Structure 1
Amino acid sequence: MRVLDRRAVRSLLVPDELVEAVGHAMADLSEGRASLPPRIAARVPGAGLLATMPAYSPTLGVLAAKLLTVYLDNDVAGLPVHQATIAVFDPLTGRILALVDGDHLTAARTAACSALSIRHLARRDSRVLAVLGTGPQAREHARYACLVHPFAEVCVGGRDPVKAERLAADLAREGLQVRSTTIVEAVEEADVVCAATSTVEPILRRGDVRPGTHIASVGYIAHGREVDAALLREALVVVEHRDTSLQPFPIGSNDLAELGSAGELDPERVVEIGELVAGRRAGRDGPEQVTVFKSVGVAVQDAAAASVVLAAAERDGVGTEVTL
């Protein structure tokens, strides 16, 4: 079994390859080829949860399972809120092949799928990207969004101005045209919004979003919502997997589940990102339409990310071989 730590994962991951692999995995899911059982979670009252996420993608030839913990109070102690490990298995024999650090891969694969949504749903004349949040997901979303679209400017909006300025400075050193601002100002100026926050109350409201905006919302906590109901009722809503996304947390999205239970969101009008990748469904129907990609994260994305890193590790001889 090959063990790949965080440093190895960062050195091996090629963003372009990850976007393409995630695209194949999402098409597998929408075409009914992938195996994706529901996510389950063991809860620790007053502390956090441990979720298990197995998946198989035949196009990529990868079988994997992620173990993910979510502990919101870790942020106060300076510890990661999300921590993950991905196990990769031989789909023909079931033999374990690798154990891969999943923290960076989780942020990267989520951003890669949001980048796919930008590729298929954002207006081609989009100039300003707003990134809401200041954590690892926000950082990767700025990188991957700019990988698939030539934004003229990136606005980083955060509740903590110091963290927003720090992230903006880091991204500027990577060559992006970026500045920090408030969340409200970032949304008002944006053509594309990537929201990666832990907000409880919606920060994306219909009255604040410009016509034609594309939103990728990945905020995902037990009692939180990033997008208000009025915006979701009017927008073209895109998800990773209808059966998953329309369920309550921890399987699906609170944003969508509450609308669905109230009869205000027709599942038939919800589009899967894999349907866009495969060309089975159309994207936006005009320059004024608001589009929302609401992500909850699905295990085929983790499997895709792990397959990209493991292939590079085997090619380059990177990692530690361990016998259990």
Structure 2
Amino acid sequence: MIIIPESAIATLVTPADCLKAVEEVFASMANRSAYNFPVIREAIGHADALYGFKSGFDRKSLALGLKSGGFWPNNASRGLTNHQSTIFLFDADTGKCRAVVGGNLLTALRTAAASAISIKYLARKDAKVLGMIGAGHQSTFQLRAALEQRPFEKIVAWNPHPDMLSRLEEVAKQEGLPFEAVDRDRLGAESDVIISITSSFAPLLKASQVRAGTHLACMGTDTKGKQEVEAELLAAATVFADDLSQAVSIGESQHAAQKGLLAIDSIIEIGAVVNGTHPGRTSIDEITLFDGTGVALQDLSVASAVVDLALARGVAVDIDF
């Protein structure tokens, strides 16, 4: 069994590697050669933590496995990231455990890759202003990945705790882009693309605050009850998702679906846009929204890429198990 510790991930995989892996698995999902199993995600009643399992299988790549972990909101005080996870890969032919891979950095990279893919395929080509809602640990990964997809000229951002925006401002400075902390009215009025990456359980952005032609990537809602944007915003948008069933059960779409504002058969798989069976954006005034719930196959695809890279470079730790 191969062991890839968390400490080795950064030296093995790049954001570009993750984007390629996630893009391929989205297309595979839309082609029905890969599927995710039902998600288990619950509050455990200890340390305010959310914990669960995501698993799946890709018949094309033979990636089989699961990610176990969750969100521990008090970890920052311990010098740890709030998201903690480990990915387990199994041999599809024998069922033996093939690898155990640290999942913390990979989760951040694959989540950023998913929103970047949505920007690549759905945002207007002339998008110039990028809006960020949220400034937690994953926000900088989101920002860097987004900047690779369009020639953005300015970044505007809002966070419930304004002091945390300095981390986004630092990325903007490194990229030579102007940065401004704004209220949500201005963020919606100025942004061509908006990424939300929070753990909110109440809407942070209203439909009336979003202008025509905007693309939104809602990346924080992955549990029943969570919500980043008003349900009416999804009713006004063309909604795309990584996984349709997850979108309406644990994703941003759950609230609009419960209110009867959004039908599951109106949601489009992002993989269908990737593989060319859906055109994606159809007009410059269309509001597009990507509901990124995070699927097991994203984790399995990037973890498989890490294992392959480690084997190719001769740095994989192989133990008898």
TM category (shorter chain) comes to over 0.9
Which residue of structure 1 aligns with residue 310 of structure 2?
A: 313
Determine if contact 1:109/1:301 at 8 Å carries over to the other structure.
Answer: yes
Match of 2:235 among 222, 233, 246: 233
Aligned to 1:219: 220
Seen in structure 2, the aligned counterparts of structure 1 residues 159 and 262 have a Cα distance that, compared at 3 Å, is: closer
Q: Report the Cα distance in structure 2 between the residues aligned to 1:17 and 1:312, rounded to whole angstroms.
A: 10
Provide the residue aligned with 2:130 in structure 1: 129
Instruction: Note the 1:228-267 alignment, pairs <5 A.
Output: 228-247=230-249, 252-253=250-251, 255-267=252-264
> Which amino acid letter does the alignment assign opposite residue 267 of structure 1?
I
After TM superposition, the structure 1 = structure 2 runs for residues 169-180 of structure 1, keeping only pairs within 5 Å, are 169-173=170-174, 175-180=175-180
Matching of residues 1-324 of structure 1 within 5 Å: 1-45=1-45, 47-75=48-76, 79-173=80-174, 175-184=175-184, 185-220=186-221, 221-247=223-249, 252-253=250-251, 255-324=252-321
Letter in 2 for 1:311: D
Instruction: Give CA deviations for 1:4-54 in whole Å, capped at 9, x if unaligned.
Output: 222311111122222121111111112211131101135412532321111
| Contact 2:144–2:171 under 8 Å retained in 1 | no
Which residue identity is paired with 2:234?
Answer: L
Is the alpha carbon distance of 1:42 and 1:210 closer, same or farther for their aligned partners in structure 2, counting shifts above 3 Å? closer
> Could you state the TM-score of these two structures normalised by the residue count of structure 2?
0.92
Cα deviation, residue 77, structure 1: 5.4
Cα distance in 2 for residues equivalent to 1:227 and 1:147: 25
Name the aligned partner's letter for residue 277 of structure 2: R
Query: Larger deviation: 267-276 or 157-166?
Result: 157-166
Cα shift readout 1:182-220 (whole Å, capped 9, x = no counterpart): 352333321001110122221121111121000000112
**Secondary structure class of the residue paired with 1:41:** strand
In structure 2, distance between residues paired with 1:170 and 1:143: 7
1:93 to partner: Cα distance: 2.2
Deviations 1:129-185 (A, max 9, x none): 112211232111111111222212223332222210233114523x25142413523
Question: What's the TM-score, normalizing by structure 1?
Answer: 0.91
The answer to whether the 8 A contact 2:243-2:293 is kept is: no
* 1:319 CA displacement: 3.8
Code of the aligned partner of 2:202: E
Distance 1:15 1:287 in 2: 29
CA distance 1:60–1:147, change in 2 (3 Å): farther
C-alpha spacing 1:177/1:318, structure 2 compared with 1 (3 Å): farther
C-alpha change, 1:176 and 1:102, in structure 2 (3 Å) is: farther
Question: 1:118·1:214 contact (CA, 8 Å) conserved in 2?
Answer: yes
State percent identity of aligned pairs.
31
Distance in 1 separating the partners of 2:269 and 2:207: 22
How far did 1:57 drift? 1.7
- Equivalent pairs counted in the alignment come to 318
How far apart, in 2, do the equivalents of 1:256 and 1:155 lie? 25
Greater shift, 302-311 or 10-19, is seen at 10-19
**Structure 1 stretches lacking a partner, 5+ long:** none
Pair 1:125–1:170, CA change in 2 (3 A): closer
Query: Whole-Å Cα distance in 1 between the matches of residues 214 and 170 of structure 2?
Result: 25
Comparing 44-53 and 207-216, the one that deviates more:
44-53
Could you tell me which runs of 5 or more consecutive residues in structure 2 were left unpaired when the two chains were aligned: none
Letter in 2 for 1:6: E
Q: CA deviation at 1:67?
A: 0.3
